[in-house]
Structure 1
Amino acid sequence: MEDPRKLEEGFASNPQLPNEDEDHEGKKVHGISNETEEQKKEEPLVKQKTKRVATLDAFRGLTIVLMILVDDAGGAYPRIDHSPWNGCTLADFVMPFFLFIVGVAIALALKRVPNINYAIRKITLRTLKLLFWGILLQGGYSHAPDDLSYGVDMKQIRWFGILQRIALVYCVVALIETFTTKLRPTSLDPGYFSIFTAYKWQWVGGFIAFVIYMVTTFSLYVPDWSFVVNDNDKLERYTVKCGMRGHLGPACNAVGYVDRQIWGINHLYDQPVWARLRACTFSSPGSGPFRMDAPSWCRGPFEPEGLLSSISAIVSGTIGIHYGHVLIHFKGHAERLKQWVSMALVLLIVAIILHFTDAIPINKQLYSFSYVCFTAGAAGIVFSGFYLLIDVWGKRMPFLFLEWIGMNAMLVFVMAAQGIFEAFVNGWYFKDSDNNLVNWIQQHVFNDVWKSERVGTLLYVIFGEILFWAVVSGILHKLGIYWKL
């Protein structure tokens, strides 16, 4: 386990000249330095520790907290759950916030690469680990937390998911950062846009991803498609009529078509949020039975973390790495905040114009360009606010629980957000699987006391999950225990 205080997610008093040789994960690199023995002798015996940016942990922790909140309380409060199609709710900020902070961390972790081949191996290994955990947790093998069974039919395994998308974005953005390490400037030229030109290859990578997504979305021909639904052991086939290009609705968009062609329709997520649209159910925006006149696509599968939309998500990581570059090159708080906030405002304005002119609606399921801009702008504002409060004004105490969760983000994601710990507790039941400790606490400690299942659910998520894991993360932090990929 690594002490996060040693991770390369901080910055030295001179960001261009860090005090220790570290790899992209923050570990000290032994035996791969290019320095000569004479240079090593000239180094001071006592080296100054790099200062850790607490904002990164707090932002990462906030993202995990949002995920737990919307996943487990979204059913009781549909307004915070994922938007059924166009629009943006609280849940829709989670994925781009993850990708944004991944980008920031990559910039800081790779601000100096002593050995490119070693860095590439580490990036590849981390990508494979993310892919493995993504398939294991969201591919259908784990049925946590309510279903105590496990196993998945390989004919229906889900290949893509949250961690797989993070893996793709991380791999692309980190490799670009690594391969361009010799092209980095030691100092910036005067001018607001110098930071953009200094890292033009990162923006070229983001632009290529943008072009691939936009060209495919608006030019790919989407034919009719069909699927089979198992309803009470009765197989029923539905057909969706398309035959068009550039459609941004649920039925005939290119994002879904690419996934159906590459992964196969049986390997897609079979409970898409579009089933909560008014066209599908009278319970909209909540879940409910399908309307009698519901179109056929309401019952169809759709992968919200698909391949084409994940290519668009690379832009979110590119914007995040830009914020990391600003943190490295600009020493003054005012300079950093000026760069961050101004870019965030531009992104928000672009997104609002695209959305309200109906040019490109904000849509998480498609990961539309307006959605990229809107959520990245929001991430920039929140990140800047955290930086101002925590690292500039020193108001760290109220955000310590977020820092603790952020330091053990992978642990809390697996155990809480994916329900593994809750499933373990549910496995110890009395007579009936529903008669377990988790259900007893939720019913008797929260629902019965507040006489409301909705309020009880929200309070259980806040105190029984978020607060619980904040305390656990704090204890693990004190013990120096961290789960890192």
Structure 2
Amino acid sequence: MSKDRLLSLDVFRGLTIAAMILVNDPGSWSYVYRPLLHAKWHGCTPTDLIFPFFLYMVGMAVSLGKPKTGHDRKLITSKILKRSLYLFLIGLFLNGFPYFELSTFRIPGVLQRIALVFLAIALMHHYFKTRVQIIIGISLLVGYWIIMSFIPVPGIGEPNLEPETNFAAWFDRLFLSGHMWRLSETWDPEGFLSTLPAVVTGLLGIFSGKILFAAENKAQGLGKIFVLGNVLIGIALAWDMTFPINKSLWTSSFVLYTGGIAMNFYGILFWLLDIQKYRSKLTFPFEVFGSNAITAYALSGVLASLFGIISLGDYSIHQVLFDGLVNIFGDNYFASFAYAVGFVTLCYLPILILYRKKIFIKV
């Protein structure tokens, strides 16, 4: 089995990006089916699985690269630094587009977190042994739990996990005040402190890749992945009682819970697509999305902004299309969902053209 091209990894990446675009672009945020929304605070919906799935996939992709030494290590380190920088800058561009108001410019974001996680886990993959990576991962999860649960919040008081008064929110305000998520302004779901446990999500992908891709007997490797994934889910549910599963805080229990689900989900894809060689027209669109995942995500961000500011008569393109769908279906929720599906399809078409022309844009 070639490690250079794994259909399951492409499809997994494509599914995740398509799902990201779907949940980010409803016809109206007032009419969204509950599973397509994030949990209000504690808890986990299907939508909350999307971002950790992508970080987990980043780790699996990193695991395919053989650790470098000597001069090769210097070259790969330079590439890692450049790729992380480019991802971070693209994320900043999407945050600012189209007005780039520097006084309220949001600094954190999805691509920025991906960039930081990729930087950390890729360097660890090439510089540290697996045992050291495991120690670092455990230390990050336990350390984050201690910080959030036991250290008093300066200027606020007792440690807590409330949106505006938890330690992570306070920490981010020290460095990002005025440049955080516009819907809250006092805390950010992709803040800097909560990126530390997110690094472990990427490490879980590396560990899974090492277990699965290096195994001579793929069935045995899969068995280990399924066992480990369900053990992590069990630990997460126990930890949830004292450190709740929370996507916005990226709690340690959230890392283990979503990581365990990702292991099970990817294991099924790997078995179907790379062991059983199952092929279907249903998987092809996700293979296409997965071939240019970051390009698809960036394109969706630009198009969503343009649809919101370009007018057709008295209303934006977005509003005109949504109102048209409401008139067709007579149901606001279904019209909002149909808009999201249509938007995903619109983003898919240029990515399909790139795929047909064998153009794969690597950041």
TM-score scaled by structure 1? 0.69
Distance in structure 2 (CA, Å) of the matches to 1:130 and 1:480: 22
Aligned residues: 358
Query: Could you tell me which residue of structure 2 aligns to residue 212 of structure 1?
Result: 143
Query: Could you tell me which residue of structure 2 aligns to residue 450 of structure 1?
Result: 329
Root-mean-square deviation (CA), in Å? 2.1
The answer to whether 1:390 aligns with 2:303 is: no
Matches within 5 A, 1:316-331: 316-331=201-216
**Structure 1 pair 458–331 and aligned structure 2 pair: CA distance change class (3 A):** same
Deviation per CA, 1:85-117, whole angstroms, max 9, x where unpaired?
A: 100112211221111001000110345567000
Query: Could you tell me which residue of structure 2 aligns to residue 266 of structure 1?
Result: 178
Query: Could you tell me which residue of structure 2 aligns to residue 379 of structure 1?
Result: 262
Deviates more, 1:473-482 or 1:109-118: 109-118
Query: Could you tell me which residue of structure 2 aligns to residue 411 of structure 1?
Result: 295
The answer to whether 1:360 aligns with 2:360 is: no
SS of equivalent to 1:222: coil
Q: What fraction of aligned residue pairs are identical, expressed as a percent?
A: 28
Task: Give the residue type in structure 1 aligned to 2:179.
Answer: H
Query: Could you tell me which residue of structure 1 aligns to residue 169 of structure 2?
Result: 256
Distance in structure 1 (CA, Å) of the matches to 2:304 and 2:247: 28
Task: Give the residue type in structure 1 aligned to 2:343.
Answer: E
Q: Structure 1: which 5+ residue stretches go unaligned?
A: 1-10, 13-49, 144-149, 184-198, 225-241, 273-299
Query: Could you tell me which residue of structure 2 aligns to residue 104 of structure 1?
Result: 60
Deviation per CA, 1:315-339, whole angstroms, max 9, x where unpaired?
A: 1011010111123310322112111
C-alpha displacement of 1:435: 5.2
For the 8 Å contact 1:70–1:90, the answer to whether it is kept is no
Task: Give the residue type in structure 1 aligned to 2:49.
Answer: F
Query: Could you tell me which residue of structure 2 aligns to residue 171 of structure 1?
Result: 119
Structure 1 or 2: more helix by fraction: 2
Task: Give the residue type in structure 1 aligned to 2:251.
Answer: S
Deviates more, 1:386-395 or 1:120-129: 386-395
C-alpha displacement of 1:439: 4.2
Distance in structure 2 (CA, Å) of the matches to 1:244 and 1:313: 25
Greater RCO between the two (CA within 8 Å, min separation 6)? 2
For the 8 Å contact 2:23–2:340, the answer to whether it is kept is no
**Structure 1 pair 306–425 and aligned structure 2 pair: CA distance change class (3 A):** closer
SS of equivalent to 1:307: coil
Q: Structure 2: which 5+ residue stretches go unaligned?
A: none
Distance in structure 1 (CA, Å) of the matches to 2:181 and 2:154: 20
SS of equivalent to 1:207: helix
Task: Give the residue type in structure 2 aligned to 1:456.
Answer: A
Question: Which of these two proteins has the greater Rg computed from alpha carbons?
Answer: 1
Distance in structure 1 (CA, Å) of the matches to 2:154 and 2:139: 26
Distance in structure 2 (CA, Å) of the matches to 1:367 and 1:95: 11
**Structure 1 pair 157–441 and aligned structure 2 pair: CA distance change class (3 A):** closer
C-alpha displacement of 1:250: 2.3
For the 8 Å contact 1:209–1:311, the answer to whether it is kept is yes
For the 8 Å contact 2:312–2:320, the answer to whether it is kept is no
C-alpha displacement of 1:453: 2.0
SS of equivalent to 2:361: coil
TM-score scaled by structure 2? 0.91
C-alpha displacement of 1:120: 0.6
Deviation per CA, 1:350-379, whole angstroms, max 9, x where unpaired?
A: 112222xx2111111111111111111111
The answer to whether 1:124 aligns with 2:81 is: yes
For the 8 Å contact 1:71–1:81, the answer to whether it is kept is no
Task: Give the residue type in structure 2 aligned to 1:66.
Answer: A
The answer to whether 1:62 aligns with 2:15 is: yes
**Structure 1 pair 435–354 and aligned structure 2 pair: CA distance change class (3 A):** closer
Distance in structure 2 (CA, Å) of the matches to 1:391 and 1:322: 19
Query: Could you tell me which residue of structure 1 aligns to residue 39 of structure 2?
Result: 83
Deviation per CA, 1:373-431, whole angstroms, max 9, x where unpaired?
A: 11111111110111122112222222111110011101110111x2x124446666444
Distance in structure 2 (CA, Å) of the matches to 1:125 and 1:51: 22
Structure 1 or 2: more strand by fraction: 1
Query: Could you tell me which residue of structure 1 aligns to residue 352 of structure 2?
Result: 474
Distance in structure 1 (CA, Å) of the matches to 2:201 and 2:305: 33
Deviation per CA, 1:7-56, whole angstroms, max 9, x where unpaired?
A: xxxx54xxxxxxxxxxxxxxxxxxxxxxxxxxxxxxxxxxxxx6511011
Counterpart selection for 2:72 from 103, 109, 115? 115
Distance in structure 2 (CA, Å) of the matches to 1:443 and 1:221: 49
The answer to whether 1:159 aligns with 2:107 is: yes
SS of equivalent to 1:221: coil
Distance in structure 1 (CA, Å) of the matches to 2:212 and 2:67: 11
